[in-house]
Every structure is written in structure tokens, then in C-alpha cells.
């Protein structure tokens, strides 16, 4: 459906229910405003809504969308001016207060930023973005306990929200609540095991002595994997298979890479050898065109020594991978 069709459908539906002035307001707020935003046509939106604001200066919604477009273009001064007008026109609009807070954040005004998030939450206590950004504001101020409590509120609304999970763990880390922080990093990684935040979370987890996840190199690419574990029969556990399948896919795409499988089992060298063989078996089964020559094995009947967080940790049983480019 093209833009003209969308507009016509919206107009017809709105005309049936409202008068002309209200129709224009509704159309601007619910159709045209979001359309320019979703299409990334911020400058075009500014031109249209600036004209609209001059012609109808008192209509709610026009200044709001102008502010949103200016924020999207990283023009916080203009954004704040428009959004301040928006909240004057409609002080009961929680979204307008929230985005004004974002504008103040972009200007570095933390106090006014916070006040707008709090006003949004007085109007709409379950406003997810306002709850989240209030927590960010507290974190930026170094108010770790208050930030952690606010992130808890966010997670009651959205239990898997990645920023809240990550930053809650960070706040606990900053308070030196090590056991809680370690559990929080693991919770984040259980839900969001990929990407830059996962890499950083794994570094933090390892620095606190948790090795349920590891960062490994495959060629020049650093990636997060779940620590390889084994069942009672010595087979790779089902929970560990997705990480091995990912490694196998990466190796299939980069045939110039050799990946050394290195296993440790303190006091049990035979167990370490059997585990190295089990890991290679799963990688060979998962990879397209992989051969055993690209998966050399090393095993040790000792604990692995891992340097992380300024300490050296002893991991009694583990599997590591060392990359080599041929």
C-alpha cells in the first residue's frame, strides 16, 4: 500500500467519526507523524509539521512530532524547544514528557531529564521507556542502589528487556555485590548470548569468577559461547550444542581457520582427552566440509588458569578453543 492509499484510508475512517479540526489533529498524530518517523524522512517531516504549526499553533501533537524529528537528526536544542511546547499544549501526554526528558539528556541536563521521566510516570506508571530511562539516569549519576531498584521495576514490566538486565548487573557490580552480579550477568547471557553486549557481559562475568560463558576467537572474530558441559555418559550436553553448531558454521565459512580444542580436567587426564574427542565429534557432525585436521586436540589433567579482572582463576574442568589462520 503506497503513501497516498494510506492517507486516503486514514482520512475516510477519521472523517466518519470526527469534525474537520479534530480529524486533522488525529490524522497528524496517528498517521502522518508516525509515517515520517518510520520512513526515516525526518527533514521532510520537519518541513511539513513546521508549516502545520505556523498555521495551527495550538493543536496538540504538531510540536511533539517536530521534537521527535529533531531528536532523530541529533538536534537536541530544537527538539527541546518543540517538546517543551508540546507538554505545555498537552501536559497530560506521558510520551511528550518522556521525549522531552530524552532531549534534556542529549543536552546533558540530568536534573531536568529526570524530572520529565518522573512526570511521565506520574501520568502512566507502567510507561516502559520512562521507567527504563529513569534507571539509566540514576546509573549515570552513580546512584547504584537506586538504579538497580529501578531496573527491577523495568524487569517486572518486561522480564527480558536487555538494557535493564545488563545495566542492573552493572549496578550490582559497582556495589561489589559480587555473587548477585555474577548471577545477573549469567541471567542476561542466558537470554541474550549474542552481540557486543554479550561480549562485554561475558568479560564481566569472567572477571567475577563465573565461567558459564566464554569469549573465543574464530579467526579475527570474537564471539560468545556457552561453556561446554557434558552429561553423565560423557557426551556433550544438549545445552552446549547450539554454541558448537555456531562454531562449526563459522568454520565452514572460513576454511582457512584451524580451531584447536583444548580441554582441562584437574587430576583426570583421560577424562580431558575423552571430552576433547567428544567436542570434535560434535563439531564434525555440525560442520559442512569440516575435517578432523582442522580440529587438533590438546588435553591436560590440570585446571585451566584464566586471567580475568586482574586475577588468575583456576577452572577445574573446562573446554577452550584456540584459533589459528592457515
Q: What secondary structure does DSSP assign to 172-199, as a single string?
A: HHHTT-HHHHHHHHHHHHHH--SSHHHH
What's the number of domains the chain is made of? Answer: 3
Q: Residue 222 sits in which domain range?
A: 212-325
Structural domain includes residue 201: no
In a domain, 17, yes or no: yes
- C-beta separation of 222 from 215 below 8 A: yes
My answer on whether 121 and 133 are in the same domain is no
Same domain, 91 and 103: yes
* Contact (CB, 8 A) for 241 and 283: no
In which element (H, E) is residue 87 found? helix 76-89
Cβ atoms within 10 Å, residue 144: 18
Q: Give the H/E segment covering residue 272.
A: helix 269-286
User: Do 239 and 320 fall into the same domain?
Assistant: yes
Domain end call among 106, 125, 144:
125
- Domain membership of residue 20 (yes or no) is yes
Which domain CATH number covers 307?
3.30.1330.60
Count of alpha carbons within 13 Å of 8, Cβ hemisphere only? Answer: 5
Residues 16 and 105 in one domain: yes
User: Could you tell me if 99 and 2 lie in one domain?
Assistant: yes
Query: Would 204 be classed as within a structural domain?
Result: no
Are 5 and 59 members of one domain? Answer: yes
For residue 170, the domain's CATH number is 1.25.40.10
10 lies in the same domain as 115 = yes
Each residue's pLDDT expressed in tens, for the chain with a length of 326 residues: 554 444 444 444 444 444 555 676 777 778 888 899 999 999 999 999 899 888 888 777 899 999 999 999 999 999 999 999 999 999 999 999 999 999 999 999 999 999 999 999 999 999 999 999 999 999 999 999 999 999 999 999 999 999 999 999 999 999 999 999 999 999 999 999 999 999 999 999 999 999 999 999 999 999 999 999 999 999 999 999 999 999 999 999 999 999 999 999 999 999 999 999 999 999 999 998 899 999 999 999 999 999 999 999 999 999 999 999 88
**Closest-CA residue to 318 (of 277, 246, 266):** 266
The whole-model pTM stands at 0.88
Amino acid at each position: 500500500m503506497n503513501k497516498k492509499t494510506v492517507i486516503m484510508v486514514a482520512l475516510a475512517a477519521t472523517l466518519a467519526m470526527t469534525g474537520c479540526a479534530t480529524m486533522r489533529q488525529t490524522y497528524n498524530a496517528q498517521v502522518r507523524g508516525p509515517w515520517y518517523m518510520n520512513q526515516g524522512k525526518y527533514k521532510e517531516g520537519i518541513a511539513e509539521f513546521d508549516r502545520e504549526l505556523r498555521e495551527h499553533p495550538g493543536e496538540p501533537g504538531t510540536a511533539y512530532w517536530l521534537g521527535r524529528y529533531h531528536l532523530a537528526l541529533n538536534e537536541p536544542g530544537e527538539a527541546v524547544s518543540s517538546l517543551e511546547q508540546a507538554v505545555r499544549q498537552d501536559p497530560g501526554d506521558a510520551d511528550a514528557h518522556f521525549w522531552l526528558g530524552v532531549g534534556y539528556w542529549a543536552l546533558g541536563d540530568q536534573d531536568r531529564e529526570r524530572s520529565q521521566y518522573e512526570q511521565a510516570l506520574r501520568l502512566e506508571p507502567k510507561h516502559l521507556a520512562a521507567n527504563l530511562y529513569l534507571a539509566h539516569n540514576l546509573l549515570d549519576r552513580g546512584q547504584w542502589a537506586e538504579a538497580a531498584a529501578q531496573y527491577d521495576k523495568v524487569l517486572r514490566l518486561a522480564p527480558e528487556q536487555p538494557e535493564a538486565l545488563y545495566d542492573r548487573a552493572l549496578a550490582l557490580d559497582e556495589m561489589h555485590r559480587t555473587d548477585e552480579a555474577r548471577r545477573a550477568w549469567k541471567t542476561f547471557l542466558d537470554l541474550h548470548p549474542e552481540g557486543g553486549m554479550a561480549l562485554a557481559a561475558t568479560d564481566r562475568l569472567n572477571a567475577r569468577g563465573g565461567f558459564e560463558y566464554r569469549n573465543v576467537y574464530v579467526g579475527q572474530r570474537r564471539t560468545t559461547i556457552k561453556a561446554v558441559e557434558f552429561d553423565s555418559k560423557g557426551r556433550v550436553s544438549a545445552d552446549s550444542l547450539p554454541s558448537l553448531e555456531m562454531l562449526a558454521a563459522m568454520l565452514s565459512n572460513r576454511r582457512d581457520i584451524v580451531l584447536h580444542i583444548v580441554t582441562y580436567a584437574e587430576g583426570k587426564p583421560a577424562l580431558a582427552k575423552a571430552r576433547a574427542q567428544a567436542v570434535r565429534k560434535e563439531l564434525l557432525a555440525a560442520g559442512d566440509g569440516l575435517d578432523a585436521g582442522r580440529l587438533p586436540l590438546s588435553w591436560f589433567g590440570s585446571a585451566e588458569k584464566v586471567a580475568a579482572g586482574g586475577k588468575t582463576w583456576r577452572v577445574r574442568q573446562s573446554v577452550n578453543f584456540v584459533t589459528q589462520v592457515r
